[in-house]
A and B are shown apart, each in its own frame.
Chain A
Amino acid sequence: MTDLSHRPVLPQSQRPRLLEMAGISKVFNGSITALDGMNLTLNEGDFLSLLGPSGCGKSTALRLIAGLMRPTTGRIIWNGAQDRGDIGVVFQEPTLMPWATVAKNVWLPFRLRGQSFASVKDRIATALKLVGLENFHDAYPRELSGGMKMRVSIARAFVTNPRLILMDEPFAALDEITRQKLNDDLLALKDKIGCTVIFVTHSVFESVFLSDRIVVMAARPGRVVQELTVDAPYPRDMEFRTSPDYAAQTHVVSDALRIAIGDHSHDAH
């Protein structure tokens, strides 16, 4: 298989369930409540953003879903069997291995499943082409710009064609221009592959542009305060970014976030 297969994305109301977080709490050291009773249903094809202030448990939620730690209470129920390679991850830092070339970095998920480089060369090439790095197979990470490194990281997350991709503030450290470009490319990529994405961000604008569902969270203790849907159809582009609809949606989300942070000054009148 040289092409990354496409999963059909259905309208929101008809999407089959991918996983459910049921009453998830996570308490660190017996005292820090990072998450308190989080309920969330994720459906196949969703682009879901977790939006909230620092310390509201966004990363904790991702780490629980990734299976890196266990919840204190509650359960995460996957629909269907869970296989390694079902999850792709992109962190805030590109997290590449500096001693390996771009292609070898993207090979990692396959390599850990015991697949030789030669046997997946075509898939790696396809993934790198999708992120626009077809000419950088043999470059080392240090030779790339911040944005390009992030593209490698994204290619690595997508290359196994996983059911779910977790992204923890992937573009937060990038400049605005690179960030917008990567937002566009990420949507194009998701459209091509049809996977499910959970995207953590601090940016209202980014979350509205990218997602069809936004979960607004609050801190101390970390919890979900509101769930919103962004109804604008995909593909979204520059036109959407400058549309009144986009402005209206960001306004709604901003208000929700302000309430989550606990700033009620706008409610007074």
Chain B
Amino acid sequence: MTPTDPAFDADEARRARNRRIEAVARWALPLAVVILTIIVWNWFSNSSATRGMIFPAPPKVWARFLADYGMLFTSLMVTLKITFMALAIAIIGGVALAILFTQSRFAELIFFPYAVILQVTPIVSIAPLIFIYVQDPLARVLICAWIVAFFPILSNTTLGLKSTDSNLRDLYAIYGATWWQKLLFLQLPSAMPYFLGGLRIAGGLALIGAIVAEYVAGISGSGSGLAFRILEASYRLNYPRMFAALIMIAIVGVIIFAATTFISWFFLRKWHESALRREV
């Protein structure tokens, strides 16, 4: 179609052009930024010999990554395992607690302050205590990651469970719905968009929690996750390996974000405003 087409006015033509540009830009722009970053980074590293030592050039990092692939990958698996276990427990615990909160106002009044205290106290300051009280190496790291990840799930799901339409609640009452039916058919679906929003935040936080816990555990501590590899490499002045591990963590973070975003879209695509594309 051409702009002279009477059914395709100037406004529509502009919109169509913007859509085409956006479709390309969506991929091209981030890619260009990444490439540019690598070029600048490479230039910076090679601009002086000492700089190149502590700020290794991309080819060096890549070579190190290939050389340490087996070890780094094993560490990645450790970090991922902790992240996903923590996220799973955060989901179960967060949703269960949210359901409890919405069923009993008293339960909320009693437990909510603790949830807030856990949330606002920086994990690095709680972690040393946890490491004193909990001996099991997996459990201690898991607890740290869980504390960081569960709050957004709890608070979002609680909000969601409470925001059911009051007329629908009346309707359920008139039809004599049981507690269980109300929860399953009304409250949980209403809470879904809120829960998924919490999940997107919690996914990233679980990774952060896992990494921080590994740092606090330190070289003597548990497992051998990616954070442990970074610490270890820093003691050995192995800067390329630090970079390789760091970039792996960043990529995992991006993948978790993309995955939770996809999950959110998948569950809401049929009905929720957030997942619907409007052609205006």
A: residues with CB less than 8 A from B are 63, 66-68, 84-85, 87, 89, 91, 93, 95, 97-100, 108-109, 111-113, 140-142
Residues of B within 8 Å of A66, CB to CB, are 170, 174
Chain B contact-residue range equals 20 to 34
Q: Is the CB of A111 within 8 A of B185?
A: yes
Contact indicator A99/B276 (Cβ below 8 Å): no
> Which applies to chain B's interface (DSSP): helix, strand, loop or mixed?
helix
Interchain CA distance A101-B41 in the complex, whole Å = 53
In contact, B271 and A67 (Cβ under 8 angstroms): no
Chain A nearest CB from B270 CB (Å) reads: 6
Residues of the A chain whose Cβ atoms lie less than 8 Å from the Cβ of B174: 66-68, 84, 87, 89
A85 to B270, CA, bound (A): 29
Output the least CB separation between A162 and chain B (Å).
10
Is B30 interfacial (CB-CB < 8 Å)? Answer: no
Known: A99-B192, A99-B271, A112-B181. Is A85-B171 also a contact (CB below 8 A)? no
8 Å CB contact of A109 from B175, B186, B189, B192: B175
Give which listed residue, B165, B173, B192, B270, contacts A140 with CB less than 8 A: B270
Q: Is the CB of B168 within 8 A of A89?
A: no
In the complex, are the beta carbons of B177 and A112 less than 8 A apart? yes
Given contacts A97-B189, A112-B175, could you give 13 more A-B pairs where the C-beta distance is less than 8 Å?
A: A84-B174, A84-B176, A87-B174, A89-B174, A91-B170, A91-B171, A98-B271, A98-B272, A108-B175, A109-B175, A111-B185, A113-B176, A140-B271
Question: Does any Cβ of A come within 8 Å of B18's Cβ?
Answer: no
Nearest chain A CB to B275 CB, angstrom units: 11
Selected from B172, B173, B181, B270, the residue in CB contact (under 8 A) with A99 is: B270
Q: A84-B175, A95-B165 are in contact. Are A142 and B271 (CB under 8 A)?
A: yes
Interface pairs A-B: 6 shortest CB-CB: A84-B176, A95-B167, A112-B175, A99-B189, A112-B177, A91-B167
Distance to closest chain A CB from B196 (angstroms): 12
Per the bound structure, the CA–CA distance linking A252 and B177 in Å amounts to 43
- Minimum CB–CB distance from B169 to chain A (whole Å) comes to 10
Residues of A within 8 A of B189 (CB): 97, 99-100
- B192: chain A residues within 8 A (beta carbon): 99
Of A98, A100, A111, A140, the most chain B CB neighbours within 10 A belong to A98
Which residues of chain B have C-beta atoms less than 8 A from A97's C-beta? 168, 185-186, 189
Nearest-neighbor residue (CB-CB) of B173 within chain A = A68
* Nearest-CB residue, chain B, relative to A95: B167
Across-interface contacts of A84 in B (CB, < 8 A): 174-176
Across-interface contacts of B181 in A (CB, < 8 A) = 111-112
Contacts of B272 in A (CB 8 A): 98-99
**Once the chains are docked, how many angstroms separate the CA of A112 from the CA of B169?**
13
Q: Given the complex of chains A and B, what is the CA–CA distance between A111 and B178 in angstroms?
A: 11
Chain A residues within 8 Å of B171, by CB: 89, 91, 95, 108
State how many angstroms separate the Cβ of B175 from the closest Cβ of chain A.
4
Inter-chain contact A112/B176, CB cutoff 8 Å? yes
- Chain A residue contacts of B173, Cβ below 8 A: 67-68
A93 with B167: CB separation less than 8 A: yes
Question: A142: which B residues are within 8 A, CB to CB?
Answer: 271, 273, 276
**A89 contacts which of B170, B271, B276 (Cβ < 8 Å)?**
B170
Interface centre among A67, A99, A108 (most CB of B within 10 A): A99
**Assembly CA distance A140 to B170 (angstroms):** 22
Which residue from chain B places its CB closest to the CB of A114 in the assembled complex?
B181
Which A residues are CB-close (under 8 A) to B170? Answer: 63, 66, 68, 89, 91
Docked Cα-Cα span, A263 to B8, in Å, equals 56
Q: Which residues of B sit under 8 angstroms from A111, Cβ to Cβ?
A: 181, 185
In the complex, what distance in Å separates the CA atom of A69 from the CA atom of B146?
Answer: 43
Identify the closest chain B residue to A140 (Cβ): B271
B278 CB, nearest partner CB in chain A, Å: 11
Which residue on chain B has the smallest CB distance to residue A91?
B167
